């Protein structure tokens, strides 16, 4: 399984976004951009104009995570602007299939995100419509929160659904991903890792990305080598 690391600019210096993006461009795979509207989550960050400006400067593809109400209205615009991946929240989407198709119609990857308390099971039939599932491992809205281990069984379950589906769907985790927690996520089946404070709060973003990648690869390898089973059976 390939490992993809997406530093989250939420933990970067917003006054120096282009430089902060550059700091990881040689070592990371994607740049994760958290768009929050102050309604779906109790925080307000950046919107389309700033994403458009970033697109002109960033060398890595942008992975836009929309924590907003009314994604039907906004998501296609991020994709049309040039974001290579656009993710909407299952909890906010009134017409997820239409919106995911509109994202894909631009050539971008379409992602569907789930808060910690939202089950992926009712959305299993939507797998043919998505390129990525994003499982939040914190309550969305703020960086720097503690990783929720209770999401690990859901990561395993999502990986099983993806395997059964047979398609090439990425499984992203977002929130509290650090050198301490990334191994557990990789063992559970995640293959794309968002990290904000663990990258931009470390003092050396590039080295942190490299360390996270090595840990994820090692954990994924050891999980592949050991037989499945033995995981706690929590609801997923």
Catalytic residues: 34, 174
Output 25 or 226, the one with its CB closest to ligand DX5: 25
Q: Which residues bind ligand DX5 (CB under 6 A)?
A: 8, 10-11, 32, 34, 65, 67, 138, 140-141, 143-145, 174-177, 194-198
In the list ligand DX5, Zn ion, none, the entry touching 11 (Cβ below 5 to 8 angstroms by class) is ligand DX5
Distance of closest approach, residue 92 Cβ to ligand DX5, in angstroms? 13
The neighbour count for residue 173, using CB atoms within 10 Å, is 31
Q: What is the DSSP letter of 61?
A: P
Task: Select the binding partner of residue 144 from Zn ion, ligand DX5, none (C-beta < 5 to 8 A, by kind).
Answer: ligand DX5
Q: Interacting stretch for Zn ion, rule CB under 5 A, among 69-77, 87-95, 149-157, 169-177?
A: 169-177
Applying CB under 5 A, does 174 fall inside the site for Zn ion? yes
CB of 71 to ligand DX5, least distance (A): 14
Angle, helices 96-105/71-81, rounded to nearest 10 degrees? 10
- The reply on whether position 69 binds Zn ion by CB under 5 A is no
In eight-state DSSP terms, residue 44 is: B
Binding partner at 195 among ligand DX5, Zn ion, none, C-beta below 5 to 8 Å by kind: ligand DX5
CB of 32 to ligand DX5, least distance (A): 6
For ligand DX5, the closer of residues 64 and 223 by Cβ is 64
Q: Alpha-carbon distance 90 to 113, whole Å?
A: 6
Q: Residue 200 Cβ, how far from ligand DX5 at the closest point, in Å?
A: 8
* Partner residues linked to 133 by β-bridges: 112, 171
Nearest to 33 by CA among 23, 48, 16: 48
**By C-alpha distance, which of 192, 153, 156, 154 is closest to 174?**
192
At 155, list the tokens: 């990561």
DSSP state of 165: H
Q: Which is nearer to Zn ion, 65 or 159 (CB)?
A: 65
The nearest distance, CB 135 to ligand DX5, in angstroms, is 11
Residue 41, class by beta-carbon neighbours within 10 Å (0-12 exposed, 13-18 middle, 19+ buried)?
buried
Q: Which is nearer to Zn ion, 39 or 221 (CB)?
A: 39
Residue 141 binding result from Zn ion, ligand DX5, none, given CB thresholds of 5 to 8 Å by partner type: ligand DX5
Determine the Cα–Cα distance for residues 9 and 18; give it in Å rounded to an integer.
Answer: 10
Q: Which is nearer to Zn ion, 34 or 191 (CB)?
A: 34
Q: Is the dihedral of CA 129, 101, 105, 134 positive or negative?
A: negative
Whether residue 113 contacts residue 137, with contact meaning beta carbons closer than 8 Å, is answered with no
Q: CA dihedral defined by 212, 214, 220, 225, rounded to 10 degrees?
A: -150
Residues binding Zn ion (CB under 5 A): 34, 65, 174
């Amino acid at each position: 399984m390939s490992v993809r690391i997406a530093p989250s600019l939420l933990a970067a210096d917003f006054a120096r976004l282009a430089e902060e993006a550059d700091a990881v461009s040689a070592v990371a795979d994607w740049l994760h951009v958290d768009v929050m509207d102050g309604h779906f989550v109790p925080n307000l960050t950046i919107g389309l104009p700033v994403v458009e400006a970033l697109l002109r400067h960033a060398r890595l593809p942008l992975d836009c995570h929309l924590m907003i109400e009314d994604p039907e209205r906004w998501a296609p615009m991020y994709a049309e602007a040039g974001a290579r991946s656009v993710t909407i929240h299952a909890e906010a989407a009134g017409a997820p299939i239409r919106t995911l198709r509109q994202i894909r119609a631009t050539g971008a990857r379409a992602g569907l995100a789930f808060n910690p308390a939202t089950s992926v099971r009712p959305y299993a039939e939507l797998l043919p419509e998505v390129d990525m599932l994003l499982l939040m491992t914190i309550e969305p809205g703020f960086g720097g929160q503690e990783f929720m281990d209770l999401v690990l069984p859901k990561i395993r379950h999502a990986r099983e659904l993806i395997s059964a589906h047979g398609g090439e769907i990425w499984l992203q985790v977002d929130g509290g991903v650090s050198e301490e927690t990334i191994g557990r996520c990789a063992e559970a089946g995640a293959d794309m890792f968002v990290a904000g404070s663990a990258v931009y709060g470390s003092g050396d973003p590039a080295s942190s990305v490299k360390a996270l990648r090595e840990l994820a690869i090692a954990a994924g390898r050891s999980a592949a080598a050991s037989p499945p089973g033995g995981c706690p059976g929590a609801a997923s």
